[in-house]
Amino acid sequence: MIEVINLYKSFPLAGKEIPVLKGISLILKKGEMIAIVGASGAGKSTFLHILGALDSPTSGKVIFEGSNIGNQNDEKRAQFRNRQVGFVFQFHHLLPEFTALENVMMPGFIQTGRRQTTVESNARDLLNRVGLSDRISHRPGELSGGEQQRVAVARALVLRPQLILADEPTGNLDTHTSHEVFALLKELNKQNGITFVIVTHNEKLAQAADRVVTMSDGKLGG
């Protein structure tokens, strides 16, 4: 589904180029769940941002179903993000003035050409599947941390993307809730055949993924 070929990324700092990713190559299969572990500063989040077309590589390629997303223009990269990718972050980034249902529907409001009745139906179904059917009208401030993250997971899935990128999705949760959210991601992965790439510091949780790769100093190991 995705082939990463010799990926490099550097950032300018004080007149110098600071290398962050140093020649990463990786193949992601459709429906696979991969966990990426490693110390802070290893380049994990930068790698995830490039996979999701939130950033561009300095060199190298990210091939998604035959197309190199790294060298596409801003409009095509935005289309790729909106149509093919769902994002889950450590901090849920829910909008406090909207209900759980409205937050889940938000990607559909942003993307033109989507029937709002279909988006709402998908949102209600997903909130039910993540165990929040009775919290659908609650605003984020009325939900626990785990419930808010479940809303964020539903939001990432509402447009039925092929790829979910999760950056420390349990990093702000207690141990019990972390296990619950990770189990939910695994369940959705298996039920829907969506490819998941999850960055986490928690190696114990990562072992539940199909494959674990370690990132160290901008490089991937086995």
Residue 24 domain flag: no
* Cα gap 148→119, rounded to integer Å: 19
Q: What are all long-range contacts of 104-109, with beta carbons under 8 Å and residues at least 24 apart?
A: 104/151, 104/154, 104/155, 104/158, 105/158, 106/155, 107/82, 107/155, 107/158, 107/159, 108/158, 108/159
Place of tokens 């450590």: 90
pLDDT of residue 193: 85
* Cα gap 136→207, rounded to integer Å: 32
- Total number of domains in the chain: 1
pLDDT band at 25; cut points 50, 70, 90: very high
Query: Looking at per-residue confidence, does 177 or 29 come out higher?
Result: 29
What is the tens place of the pLDDT at every residue in 173-216? 778 878 877 887 888 888 888 899 999 887 778 888 899 999 88
pLDDT of residue 15: 81
Residue 14 domain flag: no
pLDDT of residue 113: 54
pTM: 0.84
The CATH number of the domain where 107 resides is what?
3.40.50.300
Q: What is the mean pLDDT of residues 17-38?
A: 90
- Containing structural domain, residue 136: 32-58+72-213
pLDDT band at 111; cut points 50, 70, 90: low
pLDDT of residue 112: 53
Question: How far is residue 112 CA from its own chain's centroid?
Answer: 22
* Cα gap 115→128, rounded to integer Å: 20
pLDDT of residue 97: 92
Residue 219 domain flag: no
Residue 81 domain flag: yes
pLDDT band at 103; cut points 50, 70, 90: very high
